């Protein structure tokens, strides 16, 4: 099903990703941000970025990133699905400390600035918590 403003080109997403890699040498991953009210933002992000930067660069609301990715503000809080949380591994000590300061923390909470984008993130979906809006 097509979203608002999307056009059916008859070309598969997989073809477009392979074509983009071949044409540019860059690997792009499709990331989906979901606001607390269900609003969906799908963005294509180049490897080497971070989930936080992906949100900021694509004007996704709910990610302030006040510290610019230095893991010292926790305004880039996202909540992952159980599956993605397990796949990405545990947060580092500094990220744990920052998350622990937030009473809204959930078991699968992460800081988006601490999640690097790679092709392994293709298809990830993250929730944007209401308290951050
Ligand atoms: S941007 Fe500040 S902790 Fe992530």
pTM of the model: 0.81
Q: How far is CA 88 from CA 2, 14, 24, 103, 121, in A?
A: 29, 23, 27, 22, 9
- From 49, 73, 78, 102, the mutation candidate for ligand 1 (largest count of ligand atoms within 8 A of CB) is 73
Please give the CATH architecture assigned to the domain spanning 13-132.
Roll (3.10)
| Spans of all domains in the chain | 13-132
User: Looking at the DSSP assignment, which residues form a beta bridge with residue 77?
Assistant: 111
pLDDT per position as a tens digit, 30-50? 999 999 999 999 999 999 999
pLDDT per position as a tens digit, 96-105? 999 999 999 9
Alpha carbons 10 and 129: distance in angstroms, whole number: 35
Does residue 43 line the site of ligand 1, with CB under 6 A? Answer: no
Atom index in ligand 1 nearest the CA of residue 113 equals 4
Residue whose C-alpha is closest to residue 114's, from 86, 92, 97, 83: 92
pLDDT at 2 over 70: no
- DSSP symbol at 93: H
Dihedral Cα 21, 87, 69, 24, nearest 10 deg: 0
């Amino acid at each position: 099903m097509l979203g608002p403003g999307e056009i059916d080109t008859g070309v598969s997403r997989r073809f477009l990703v392979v074509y983009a890699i071949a044409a540019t040498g860059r690997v792009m991953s499709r990331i989906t941000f979901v606001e607390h009210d269900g609003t969906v933002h799908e963005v294509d992000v180049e490897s080497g970025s971070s989930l936080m930067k992906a949100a900021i660069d694509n004007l996704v609301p709910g990610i302030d990133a006040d510290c610019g990715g230095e893991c010292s503000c926790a305004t880039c809080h996202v909540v992952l699905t159980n599956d993605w949380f397990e796949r990405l591994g545990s947060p580092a000590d500094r990220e744990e400390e920052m998350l622990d300061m937030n009473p809204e923390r959930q078991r699968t909470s992460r800081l988006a600035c601490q999640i690097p984008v790679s092709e392994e993130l293709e298809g990830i979906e993250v929730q944007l918590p209401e308290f951050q809006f």
